[in-house]
Structure 1
Amino acid sequence: MTKFLLAVHVLAAIVAIGPVTVAASMFPPYARRAMAAPGDPRALSSVQLLHRICRVYAAVGLAVPVFGFATGSAMGVLGDTWLIVSIILTGLAAVTLMVLVLPRQEAIVTDLEEATGTSTTGLTARLGMHTGIFNLLWATVTVLMIIRPGSTTGA
C-alpha cells in the first residue's frame, strides 16, 4: 500500500504542480504583451488560459499533500524533521499561490478584459517575483523529498 500511495503522491505532484509552476511563470510576460496590445484578442485569451490553468491545477494540487500525509503516515515518517520542513514549505507555497499569485493574476486578467489600463509593468514584475518564490519553495520541497536528510534511505 505504501508504494501505491507514494506513486500517487509523486504522480499528483508532477501532474498538478508542474503545470502551475510553468503557467504561473509564463503569465507575467504574456500579461505584459497583452498590456502592450490592448485590443489583441489572442493576447488576452493567452493570459486568460494561463490563469485558468493556474486556478484549476492549484485545486487539483490539493491531492499532493493529501497523498503526502497518507504516504508519510504509512512510512512512519510524519515526525521526521525533513518531512516537517517540507510540510511547512508546502504550506508557504500554497499561501504564496493563493494570496499573492492567483489574486494578482485575476486583477491583471480583469483589467485586460475591461481595458481600463490600470495594470502596470510593476504589477507584473511583482507577480513574477511572487511566482519565483512559489517555484523556489516547490523546488526546495522536491529536493527535500528526494534526499530526505537524516533518513537511512536518503542519499
Structure 2
Amino acid sequence: MTKVLLCVHVLAAIIAIGPVTVAASMFPAATRRALSALHADRELATLGTLHRICRVYAAIGIVVPVFGFATASSLQVLGNAWLITSIGLTAAAAAVLALVILPRQSRILARLASSPATAANAQSDRRLPARLAMYTGVFNVLWASVTVLMIVRPGSTTGV
C-alpha cells in the first residue's frame, strides 16, 4: 500500500504542481506583452488562460500533501526533520501561491481588462510583472527545495 500512496503522491506533484509552476512563471512575461499593447486582446486571453491554469491546478494540488501525509504515515517518518521541513516549505509555497500570486494575477487581469495601458500609468504598470515575477520565483524555489528534500531525505536508509 505504501508504494501506491507514494506513486499517487509523486504523480500528483508532477501533474498538479508542474503546470502551476510553469503557468505562474509565464504570467509576468505575458503581462509585459499585454502592457506593450501591441496585441493586448490576444495577450489578455493568454493571461486569462494562465491564471485559470494556476487556479485549477492549485486546487488539484491539494492532493499532493494529502497523499504525502498518508505516505509518510505509512513509512513511519512523520517525526523526521527533513519531512517537517518539507511540510513547512510546502505550507509556505501554498501560502505564497494562494495569498500573493493568485490575487496579484487577478488584480492584473482586472486592471488590464478595465483600462488599457496609457502613458500616465505605464510606469506603475511596469512594476506589476516585476513584483509578480519575484513572488513566482520564491514559489518556485520553495517547491524546488521540497523536491530536493524528498529525494535526498537526510538520514534516510536509502544510502543517499
**Is the contact made by 1:148 and 1:154 (CA closer than 8 Å) also made in structure 2?**
no
Matches of 1:19 and 1:41 in 2, distance apart? 23
Structure 2: state its 5+ residue gaps.
Answer: none
Matched residues in 2 for 1:61 and 1:86: separation? 15
The 4+ residue runs of structure 1 with deviation greater than 3 A are 116-119
Provide the C-alpha distance between the structure 2 equivalents of 1:133 and 1:154, rounded to a whole number of angstroms: 30
- 1:40, distance to aligned residue in structure 2 (A): 2.7
How many residues are matched?
A: 155
Opposite residue 10 of structure 2, the aligned amino acid is V
Provide the residue aligned with 2:135 in structure 1.
Answer: 130
Are the equivalent residues in 2 in contact too, given 1:38–1:112 (CA < 8 A)? no
How far apart are residue 59 of structure 1 and its match? 0.3
Q: Structure 1: how far apart are the matches of 2:39 and 2:19?
A: 28
DSSP 3-state at the match of 1:13 = helix
**Residues 31, 47 of structure 2: 8 Å contact kept:** yes
Partner of 1:152: 157
For 1:3-152, what aligned pairs fall within 5 Å after superposition?
3-37=3-37, 40-115=40-115, 117=117, 120-152=125-157
Deviates more, 1:13-22 or 1:112-121: 112-121
Question: What amino acid maps onto 1:79 in structure 2?
Answer: G
How far apart, CA to CA, are the structure 2 residues paired with 1:100 and 1:59? Answer: 15
TM-score computed with the length of structure 1 as normaliser: 0.96
CA contact (8 A) 1:21 1:135 kept: yes
Contact 1:90/1:138 (8 A) holds in 2: yes
CA contact (8 A) 2:37 2:116 kept: no
Question: Structure 1: which amino acid aligns with 2:21?
Answer: T
CA deviation map 1:82-132 (0-9, x unaligned): 000000000000000011111000000111111254561112101000000
| Residue 146 (structure 1) shift | 0.3
CA distance in 1, matches of 2:159, 2:129: 39
Q: In angstroms, what is the RMSD of aligned CA positions? A: 1.3
